[in-house]
Structure 1
Amino acid sequence: MELFNRIEKDNEYWLVDQVKVEGITGQEYLGAFSRLLERWKGNRVGYLSLLMDASYEKWLFEEGFRKVSTIVEYTRALNEKFPVEPGISMEALAAGRIGDSDFAKLYERCRSGSANKNKLFTIEQVMESLENELGQEWRARCFIFWKSDEPIGLSIPMIEQGTVDEGRLFYFGVVPEWRGKGYGAMFHRISLNLLQEFGAKTYVGSTDEANQHMIRIFEQNDCRMRDRKGIYRIDR
């Protein structure tokens, strides 16, 4: 049983997320993570970013980690379809209405001014990671929201690695000039519809505890908080 999910990028980074399993003791988690940490050190990877329960914080500090922030995790069952509001159209990047470079610019605009503190990647690294995590058909999983002829948001729904029906959003956002008008909650609902089309039975979303706007979107769309984890990082 894997107690930690891991995404690796060559010698640049490891992204590690604790998988909470009922019946697993704290010592078992520490043992499993200690072995993972030794492998990271042996592979001479640039940094390791970790999501883990804050109860292990003292031990992590002793191991050389620093705390970046805290994330909250929300979830809901995907058992109903949301109505699609008029006036908004949606199209996959694969349709070719805009190219990859314009999509990257839109992505950068959507994430500008974010309250999330864990800013790991440049936009170039983000674009590279899309194919790594979503596969060669990644453009078919990147959706752009349009109002008239203006792109005003985007969403990238996916099935969580290692699962068959847990829906996640690789990213979801609204451009700055269209925030505060209700479009965030609307686009989130449309994204939940997309996840159902991909076969997801549940949705799990997370954000920085300081991102009250995203937390309100979760709550507006009937998501409930299920977990809270610290974000920790150690560098080579």
Structure 2
Amino acid sequence: MNQLLPLEKIVNHSFKILNGLPDYINIEEKHTEREDEPSLENKIASIINFANARKVNRIGAIIQKSSNNYQLLTRLLKKYKFEFYASRIEVQRDLHDIEKVPYSFEWRSIGSRTISEEDFKTLWSRCMTGSANAASTLSIDEHLSSVKSELGTGWEHSCLAVFIDGEAAGISIPHLEPGTAEEGRIFYFGLIPEQRGKGISAEIHYQSLRILREKGASYYVGSTHESNLGMQAVFWKNGCMLKGHVESYYRTVKM
């Protein structure tokens, strides 16, 4: 049974809900049509009440800067004790022209048992060290729990580690967006500090796009923080186009 169904019926016109139960839920603004304040406030209050009733740890929210509701939503989120996290850019790319070039790196996955869950978490932590993105407020265990909750069955086959000459270089988590048939996303992408600045990020990202195509995705939606100019350069090199600017907020429900 879909536990989110009652909430989706209330907020579906305005927000997409990402299922991270029992730990969290994320909401993403779906459209930019103007809504009145009572309607939006009722939806945000319903989301919080839903989370409180289920003792969810955290609610995340992503809103579009171009939205007609931007000013209203920022005010309502602050009213309901959401904290600002980061400003991000979103990009999109059609995947039909992705070339099937030979993989030039070794790819290991939790699903194939070529890397353990613990080793993958350790590598993920190393990738987050010194990142140009804003520091995460989640532990590495919470990050992996998010992957399991959002992606569901088969999550372990999306958790990929990249090795070069037998040495770990980074991770990529390409997957089909839940609830869609053709939207590809990368839950996380990053290199360990020792591998940065060597010009390999774009190739690893491109190969991640190829993996998305092989999973059935026809297009890719990605994002990074506005401060992460390196990742933005990777997007542009790999043919991504700017989709928009968004802001992310979060609210801790229980301490």
TM-score by length of 2: 0.81
1:52-71 to 2 correspondences below 5 Å: 52-54=63-65, 55=70, 56-71=73-88
1:146-165 alignment runs, 5 A limit: 146-165=163-182
Provide closer, same or farther for how the CA distance between residues 20 and 110 of structure 1 changes in structure 2, counting only shifts above 3 A.
same
Residue of structure 1 equivalent to 2:34: 25
Report 1:140-179 matches (<5 A).
140-179=157-196
Partner of 1:8: 20
Residues 185/42 of structure 1: CA separation in 2 closer, same or farther (3 Å cut): same
Number of equivalent positions: 233
Query: CA 1:30–1:224 in structure 2 vs 1: closer, same or farther (change >3 Å)?
Result: farther
Equivalent position of 1:48 in the other structure: 59
Q: 1:76 aligns with which of 85, 93, 96?
A: 93
Partners in 2 of 1:152 and 1:41 — Cα distance?
A: 40
The percent identity for this pair of structures is 29
Q: TM-score, normalised by structure 1?
A: 0.87
Residue type matched to 2:134 in 1? K
Unaligned runs of 5+ in 1: none
| 1:133 lines up with 2:133 in the alignment | no
Counterpart contact for 2:95–2:209, Cα < 8 Å:
yes
CA distance in 2 between partners of 1:123 and 1:13 (Å): 15
**1:167 Cα offset (Å):** 0.3
SS at the partner of 1:189? Answer: helix
- Counterpart of 1:215, as a letter, is Q
Pairwise CA RMSD of aligned residues?
Answer: 2.3
Secondary structure of the residue that 1:203 maps to in structure 2? strand
Indicate whether 1:223 and 2:203 are aligned: no
Please state how far the C-alpha of 1:128 moved relative to its aligned partner.
Answer: 2.6
CA distance in 2, matches of 1:46, 1:131: 16
Matched, 1:187 2:201: no
Give the Å deviation of 1:179.
0.6
Q: Corresponding residue for 2:6?
A: none
2:118 and 2:196 mapped to 1: Cα distance? 23
